[in-house]
Each structure stands twice: as structure tokens, then as C-alpha cells.
């Protein structure tokens, strides 16, 4: 009798994370949390008062993985590792999440123009009572952006669902003068750190 191929649960709606896992040959089932007015409070991404950005991103990733594991039990799904991730941008010690609206996106991009910021992505895997995390830290320097650059990019709609109001894999790639760290980490799932965690949980890579 043949064994089932190894799989994981991915606790993320991000198409970029799905693409990156597929890129390295990881088989997964997407675990969807509720959103909107019925959103699970366990996955609230609101920073705590005076919370350090590094602590914030790791706390959120861990909370998503732990809640994902609870959902596996409630929904009677196959008991396989739950992988989650969270990405945020740190600028001048402040957590910069997803923009609230187009005006907020333009404001964020204006702040990043010609400056260096850090992109923090935490990855967490939970299986039963075991949970482990990994952290990717990258530095990104933007070119100086004109008002027209920012307006065109915001009008494209691309910034609206992304931490820091930009996606390095999309049109904003032309804004990046320098990157030190993990390109896939800036995209939302650092592949090296993810592979290390998966191997610790016995996933063959």
C-alpha cells in the first residue's frame, strides 16, 4: 500500500506565498481563516502599544500558526503541519502594515522615497504542541520617487494589499536601488528559512 505524499496546511491567503511554496515543490492545502466582521480575533494584526517590530511580526506569525492548528482540529482536517507567515515593514522604528486606502498608500511611499527601510518576515510552523519560528530581515533602499511615480503606482491598485504599500515582485521592482537580504523574504516567504523549518518537521526537501 503506497503512502500519501507529504503535505502541509498553508494558513495564508497570499497568492505569492502559494507560488513560492509551489516553486520549491511543497505540496499544501490552503487553510482559510474568516475575515471581515466575522474575523478570528486570534489573527488580529494590530500592533500592541510600543511593540517592537521584530517581536510584532513573530507574534503574529506564531498566532496564525497556532490558530491554524486549532482550526485543523475543529474542522477535522488531516493532522499535518500548519505553516504561516507574516510580513511587515519597519521604518524609523515604526511598524508599517498594509495601507488603509489610496491616500495612505501614497503617504507611505512618499516616506520611503530615497530612504532605506527593513522588511521583516516571520515564518511559523505548528504541529500539535510543537511550534517553531524563523525570521528574515532584509534592508531595501528606494530610489527617489516623484509625485507622478507614486500616483501611477497607487493608481495601478498594486499597493493596496501589501505591507509597506508595495510589491517588489511587481511594478515597484523599479523603485528598488539596493536590496540586502532575502528577495523572497521581501515577497512574503523567505525560502531558505522556510525550508530549514520544514526539514525540522520532517518534510523532505
* Residues whose CB is less than 8 angstroms from the CB of residue 171 and which lie 6 or more positions away in sequence, other chains included: 153, 156, 158
Contact 149/142 with Cβ under 8 angstroms?
Answer: no
pTM of the full predicted structure? 0.91
Contact 89, 96 (CB under 8 A): yes
Helix (H, G, I), strand (E, B) or coil at 21: helix
d(CA 144, CA 153): 14
Q: Which of 52, 86, 128, 155 is catalytic?
A: 86
Phi–psi pair at 151, nearest 5 degrees: -60, -45
Secondary structure (3-state) at 143: coil
What residues contact 161, with CB distance under 8 A and at least 6 apart? Answer: 98
Q: Is CATH 3.90.950.10 correct for 8-200?
A: yes
pLDDT at 36: 46
Residue 40 confidence (pLDDT): 64
Per the CB < 8 A criterion, the answer to whether 197 and 123 are in contact is yes
Mean pLDDT by 10 residues, the chain (205 residues): 74 95 97 64 81 95 96 94 97 94 98 98 97 98 98 97 95 98 98 97 94
86 in catalytic set: yes
Per-residue pLDDT at 2 = 42
Distance CA 152, CA 54 (A): 32
Q: What is the DSSP secondary structure assignment for residue 117, as one 8-state letter?
A: E
The backbone torsions φ and ψ at residue 127, rounded to the nearest 5 degrees and listed phi first, read -145, 110
Distances (CA, A) of 172 to 123, 140, 158, 163, 183: 24, 12, 9, 13, 13
Amino acid at each position: 500500500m503506497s503512502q500519501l505524499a507529504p503535505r502541509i496546511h498553508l494558513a495564508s491567503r497570499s497568492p505569492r506565498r502559494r507560488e513560492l511554496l509551489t516553486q520549491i515543490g511543497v505540496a499544501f492545502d490552503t487553510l482559510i481563516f474568516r475575515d471581515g466582521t466575522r474575523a478570528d480575533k486570534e489573527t488580529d494584526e494590530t500592533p500592541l502599544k510600543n511593540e517592537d517590530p521584530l517581536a510584532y511580526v513573530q507574534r503574529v506569525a506564531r498566532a496564525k500558526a497556532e490558530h491554524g492548528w486549532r482550526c485543523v482540529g475543529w474542522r477535522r482536517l488531516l493532522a499535518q503541519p500548519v505553516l504561516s507567515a507574516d510580513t511587515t515593514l519597519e521604518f524609523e522604528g515604526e511598524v508599517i502594515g498594509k495601507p488603509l486606502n489610496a491616500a495612505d498608500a501614497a503617504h507611505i511611499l512618499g516616506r520611503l522615497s530615497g530612504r532605506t527601510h527593513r522588511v521583516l518576515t516571520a515564518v511559523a510552523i505548528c504541529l500539535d504542541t510543537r511550534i517553531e519560528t524563523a525570521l528574515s530581515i532584509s534592508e531595501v533602499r528606494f530610489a527617489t520617487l516623484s509625485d507622478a511615480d507614486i500616483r501611477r503606482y497607487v493608481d495601478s491598485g498594486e499597493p493596496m494589499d501589501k505591507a509597506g504599500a508595495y510589491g517588489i515582485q511587481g511594478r515597484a521592482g523599479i523603485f528598488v536601488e539596493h536590496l540586502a537580504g532575502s528577495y523572497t523574504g521581501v515577497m512574503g516567504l523567505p525560502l531558505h528559512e522556510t525550508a530549514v523549518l520544514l526539514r525540522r518537521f520532517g518534510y523532505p526537501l
